[in-house]
Structure 1
Amino acid sequence: MTKFYEQSPEERRAQLIAEGALTALDAECLAESGLHADVAANLSENQIGQYALPIGVARNLTVNGVVRQVAMATEEPSVVAAASNGARLANLNGGVKASAEPHRVTAEVVFDGLANDGDAERVMAQHRALLFAVAETAHPSAVKRGGGLKELTCVRRGRFFVIQLTIDPSLAMGANLANTIAEAVATAASGLLDQPALVAILTNGSSELVRAEVTLSPATIATKAGNGAAIAAKIAALSDLAQSDPLRVATHNKGIMNGIDAAVLATGNDTRAVAAAISAYSKGQPLSTWQLEGDQLVGRIKLPLPVGVVGGAISALPKAQAALRLGGFDTVANLQMSLAALGLVQNLAALRALAGPGIQAGHMALQARALAMAAGATGTEIEAVAAKLTPKVRDLASARQLLNELRGKQ
């Protein structure tokens, strides 16, 4: 049987349909080359065209016993290959276990230079019911779904008095919901304090964390260059290096984000919001750790993942909806836990490559086709040129020379 990565896109879609992971309608949607012109025009300002990225799929990522097919929008073939390989290794050990805290988004209403914060806090406490009523009136549909404003606290930040709002956005990421509620509460609070608010806006910082963990038998991660125990020890050492080397931690975390970013983008979520939340949380520390515990290698990751499964661009982009259905992501928690698991197995594949044969051999082999296309190859020329780009001769100049030679023979 032909391996999944060896098939044509049409054959891959057909296999996913046969497996029950993809509907025929979603397969047709994913096969389309671009957005409808009206959708594109209304999703961007000053729209002049469309920017296409291929959608790959990380195969059979097992999270809490459920097998997921995770769509990934990326221009880097090694990212999808590594994610699938990491998922395969995790599956040899029972898959990834994950958990997610309740999905919340935080907004802040900020006052500058109040004469007496204690008085302000007492006023807010006295009118707490009013402020919650204002929040409900601002977005009643959120309350009907069980969401809306859940907590209101007052804190001092230097000279600023901050009313912190914790909001349940239900199935949405929640940015627009948070801003709507924050502005309504700001208007009411300004009247109560007889002073206009400095600002009322969501914060992309998040204290709600998603966790994932995988326990690996060293025998399952052996490579041609090293036995499993040696590879596991090197992975643990690389993890320790990321704890102490600020240059290494940047690359360590980038490897994790290779997978997460691609899946966030494919599902129509806000990659900038996710990056901002993770950056604020990590403070230059590694997002994952790998440790030897007894005779097992245990990988753990925790990070905030502010995403949704409805609303905004998610509901406007047919391919984002198809990606969500492909993965079975019907709740925010399911998507968050799968994203965390994806980041962890992506990290595993990268560290295993570093501990074994090195990162460049597999990476450049997958880049050969990109070099062929950059040289101008089309159609069957792409594979013909890529096949001749050996490890010692793999650059753009060589690709152009090979293409010219190929065309000269035709």
Structure 2
Amino acid sequence: MMVTSRVPGFYKLSPEKRLELVASAAQLNDEEKQVLTGEQRFPLRIADAMIENVVGIMPIPLGIATNFKINGIDRLIPMATEEPSVVAAASNAARMSYELGGFFTSLSGSIMRGQIQVVELPDPYGAMARLYENKQAILDRCNAKDPTLVSLGGGAVDVEVHVMEQAKRPMLVLHLLVDTRDAMGANAVNTMAEAVAPFIEELTAGRVVLRIISNLADRRLVRARAVFSREQLGGDKIVENILLAYELAECDPYRAATHNKGIMNGISAVVLATGNDTRAVEAGAHAYAAKSGRYRSLTRWERNREGNLVGTIELPMAVGIVGGATKSHPTARLALKLMNIQSAAELAGSIAAVGLAQNLAALRALADEGIQKGHMALHARNLAIMAGANEEQIELVVQQAIREGDVRYDRIRELTQEWQRRHADGKGNRAQG
């Protein structure tokens, strides 16, 4: 892996030169480079095995975020997203923390919850007691379904039983706590829950309905911390404005929703690039943001004694590096290789670091010039493509729109048509000459 993720001017390089730099750092072979560029097509047979009714492939741009130092290790971060400014914003924010140590992360564990719902109970609290009395028998039945996971140090490790007093009819839910190690764990947890359901019915004299994983992975929390340079942020006024913006997100769910959406711009892009379940991570994150009874920020922002900005983030992070698309999707496998990831804990920490950086970038833009200036300049490229600009014309049209300070679609379409008319006139004049 490369010595540093600090690559000044990376965004100025051509896609081909960026690929060569990244490929050299991660020691990719020619076949792997062709997978990233799309020269080696994603096989339709693999797509057909992943989901139903397949008719084709939907490509998503894959970018590389630079400047990330995470727990002392420099990492290149692959991000799959269609939204402009996300990769650039994460890279820029990471740069502001690099010289101050970068990001530091921790993971609470790799425990996932399986929920088994039991209804039609004559004695819910008596049933709860009987389940606890037979805890080891429940765990043994579960672990018999996945000896491989057990051999790796994982498996079902505990149970929790909750009588649902708010429900209209008597019911309880048994939480099966499973250490899924380096897997996200949905298949393992669901298999165990289904296998033990008849035994649960026998113990409770009730009827089992649901047997499924919970995506509120509150026993699999990832935390990340970083210090961002006051000078690089733009001074004390910007730091103060960032803190004020954060305070609004803490007390106002309307602001918190957009605040956390920005965090997920970064998180979901890395989750998708590595073949993990974006919907599971997003659901868990938003549920966790509302755990106090009010929807709040997933991040916390403070000012330290030196006047620098200290950011922290905490959220559930159910991701893995084995199983599912992380292994079956060739680009997802390469994304993990590019990051030099060896465990699910490393992946979770890296994803949280990106979420924190993405939030800082958005807050800084809002606290300074507003979100639109930088975002719309990047979005202008998409508008130029929509307007029909060819590869040679895109940059010319975008630069003209930026100079004018007008990146509305109608103006970009006018500029595109002007360049195309000039090109057509030039060809006509040459033909007549």
TM-score by length of 1: 0.94
Q: CA deviation at 1:258?
A: 0.7
* 1:186-265 superposed matches below 5 A: 186-208=197-219, 209-222=221-234, 228-265=235-272
Give me the CA root mean square deviation.
1.7
1:60 to 1:293, Cα distance in 2 relative to 1, 3 A:
closer
Counterparts in 2 of 1:358 and 1:118: CA distance versus 1, 3 Å: closer
Q: Tell me the residue number matched to 1:268.
A: 275
Preserved CA contact (<8 Å) 1:13 1:22: no
3-state SS of 1:299 partner = strand
Residue of structure 2 in register with 1:14 after alignment: 20
Deviation per CA, 1:138-192, whole angstroms, max 9, x where unpaired? Answer: 2222111111101112221123212110001121100111100001111221233
Distance in structure 1 (CA, Å) of the matches to 2:24 and 2:327: 26
Q: Deviations over 1:27-61 (max 9, x none)?
A: 23211264201011111211122111100011131
For residue 54 of structure 2, give the secondary structure of its aligned residue in structure 1.
Answer: coil
Q: 2:29 & 2:101 partners in 1: Cα distance?
A: 27
Distance 1:318 1:142 in 2: 24
Compare 168-177 and 9-18 and name the one that shifted more.
9-18
Residue 245 of structure 1: CA displacement?
2.1
Q: Deviations over 1:318-352 (max 9, x none)?
A: 00010011111221110111111111111111111
Which residues of 2 match residues 143-222 of structure 1 at below 5 A?
A: 143-158=150-165, 159-208=170-219, 209-222=221-234
Distance 1:270-1:30 versus aligned 2 partners, 3 A rule: same
Contact 1:74 1:262 in 2 (8 A): yes
Contact 1:210 1:303 in 2 (8 A): yes
| 1:285 maps onto 2:292 in alignment | no
The residue correspondences of 1:365-404 to structure 2 (distance < 5 A) are 365-390=377-402, 391-404=404-417
In structure 2, which of residues 422, 425, 430 is the aligned counterpart of residue 409 of structure 1? 422
2:54 is the alignment partner of 1:50: no
SS where residue 227 of structure 2 aligns?
strand
Cα gap change, 1:96 to 1:21, in 2 (>3 Å)? farther
SS at match of 1:394: coil
**CA distance 1:289–1:58, shift in 2 (3 Å):** same
Distance (Å, rounded) in 2 between the aligned partners of 1:127 and 1:393: 69
Alignment counterpart, residue 31 of structure 1, candidates 37, 40, 49: 37
Counterpart AA for 2:80: A
- Report Cα offsets for 1:66-103 as digits up to 9, x if no partner: 11111100112300000100111110321011111111
Q: Which residue of 1 aligns with 2:141?
A: 134
8 Å Cα contact 1:21-1:69 kept in structure 2 = no
Query: Which stretch has the larger CA shift, 125-134 or 33-42?
Result: 125-134
Percent identity of equivalent pairs: 39
**Is the contact made by 1:21 and 1:327 (CA closer than 8 Å) also made in structure 2?**
no
Aligned residue type for 2:178: I
Secondary structure of the 1:330 match is coil
Give distance in 2, aligned partners of 1:239 and 1:39.
Answer: 44
The structural deviation recorded for 1:24 is 4.5
Letter in 1 for 2:330: P
- Aligned partners of 1:106 and 1:167 also within 8 Å: yes
Find the residue that maps to 2:113 and give its secondary structure: strand
Question: Number of paired residues?
Answer: 405
> After superposition, what is the alpha-carbon deviation per residue over 1:178-215, rounded to whole angstroms, capped at 9, x for unaligned?
10000111122123334331221111112131111112
8 Å CA contact 2:26–2:338 kept in 1: the answer is no
1:108 maps to: 115
SS of 2:237's partner is: helix
Which runs of structure 2 are paired with 1:346-357 in the superposition (5 Å)?
Answer: 346-357=358-369
User: Structure 1, residues 106-143: CA drift from partner, whole Å, max 9, x if none?
Assistant: 00111113111333234323433322221122222211
User: Structure 2 vs 1, CA of residues 21 and 357 (structure 1 numbering), >3 Å: closer, same or farther?
Assistant: farther
- 8 Å CA contact 1:179–1:202 kept in 2: the answer is yes
- Counterpart CA distance in 2 for 1:187 and 1:112 is 13
Secondary structure of the structure 2 residue equivalent to 1:138 = coil
Distance 1:236 1:280 in 2: 24
Structure 2 unaligned spans of 5+: 1-6, 424-433
Over 3 Å counting, the alpha-carbon distance change for 1:384 and 1:111 in structure 2 is same
- 1:310-329 paired onto structure 2 within 5 Å: 310-329=322-341
Cα distance in 2 for partners of 1:370, 1:97 equals 35
Q: Is the 8 A contact 1:90 1:96 kept in 2?
A: yes
Unaligned stretches of 5+ residues in structure 1:
223-227
TM-score where L is the length of structure 2: 0.90
Distance 1:125 1:248 in 2: 43
Contact 1:103 1:170 in 2 (8 A): yes
